[in-house]
Amino acid sequence: MISIIKKQNMLTNEATDELKEVSDALFIPKNKLIINYENPLGNGICSTVYRGFLSGPSPLIKLTGLIETQEFLDCDVAVKVALHFGDDEVEQLFREIEAMKVLQYNRNVISMLGWRMLNGKPALVFELAEQDLLKYAKMLLSIDVKDFPYKTILSILWQIAKGMEFIASKDIVHRDLAARNVLLTHDFQAKISDFGLAVINNSGMKETQLPKRLPVRWLSIEAIVEKLFSEKSDVWAFGILMFEVFGLGQDPYAGIPTGNILSFLRSGERMSRPRLATNEMYELMCRCWEENMEARPKFEELVPRLHTLLEDEAGCSKYYDGLEFLPENEER
């Protein structure tokens, strides 16, 4: 894989060496990975995701040395296989591997366990999740409004904000935060996925060369106009994600042509409050959609705000928060 990327003159020698180092550390031998091609878990523009099984310890265990990654041993996995291996696919592959090298492990970020080549195309191996947040939100259309799982939704949003706070702390801008790219485990642990558009070591500067495909309906005004991406543009996308969830999977700016979205936003208009969002939730969305990026909250501000709302909804949960932060010899 490294030789193919180098032939395409996509990386400097130094960057190639760095990619080879982390790629070698994450390489999965062929006999350790079994893939079920019969029932794909999902299909995208550039890749297909299959269920698989990884024998033995995942490379991530050795790379991080963390106790939290010990579960990735003899486990079911999701295998993301590129449909093509052109320039765009190489670029997205590099971004995902590079982001993995920086992020390594966080409970609210999907873990990449390793990679290998399959039939001349790259395959990235991830921890397995049950479904994505968009499908879950659309599934809620079938339930009675009075049964809407508000506490569960608050917990999911709080976890996403925590994951994004961690990502931002590593100077990474996701650029594709949306309900479709948040995965949920069986116990509703939220995990941010798909770093194919991520900007690594971001300095809040304008990007001169943009990917061919960007999620325009999730982009902030400055991202559309100035090609400026930062934590604050991810915060804008988080507000759109909140709209998706409380709108039960409704498309952002439904009924408005993509070419008209910028003029709609610049006129001061914003999407209306989804029926299932409280006034407090909608106010939080609108804060994320401030035209002046400096007026938007950071994720480190959104996390405690959502946690307070979750505490209020859950009642006594606040009495149990401190235990995980106590040193081991102080636990009772």
Token digits for 100? 């993995």
Instruction: Give residue for tokens 């604050």.
Output: 232
- Annotated catalytic residues are 176
Residue-range domains of the chain with CATH: 2-127 (3.30.200.20), 131-322 (1.10.510.10)
**pTM (two decimals):** 0.86
Question: How remote is the C-alpha of 21 from its chain's centroid?
Answer: 24
3 state DSSP class of 219: coil
Q: Decide if 73 contacts 57 (C-beta within 8 A).
A: yes
Q: What is the pLDDT of residue 135?
A: 96
Q: What is the pLDDT of residue 12?
A: 54
* Among the listed residues 199, 192, 177, the one whose alpha carbon sits nearest the alpha carbon of residue 95: 199
Across the chain, which has 332 residues, the per-10-residue mean pLDDT values are 48 52 75 91 83 94 91 94 71 76 92 85 88 96 93 97 97 96 96 91 57 85 95 98 97 96 97 95 98 98 96 60 44 40
Q: What is the pLDDT of residue 120?
A: 72
Instruction: Give residue for tokens 């993509």.
Output: 258
Q: What is the pLDDT of residue 317?
A: 43
* Among the listed residues 197, 12, 14, the one whose alpha carbon sits nearest the alpha carbon of residue 91: 197
Element at 102 (helix H, strand E): helix 87-103
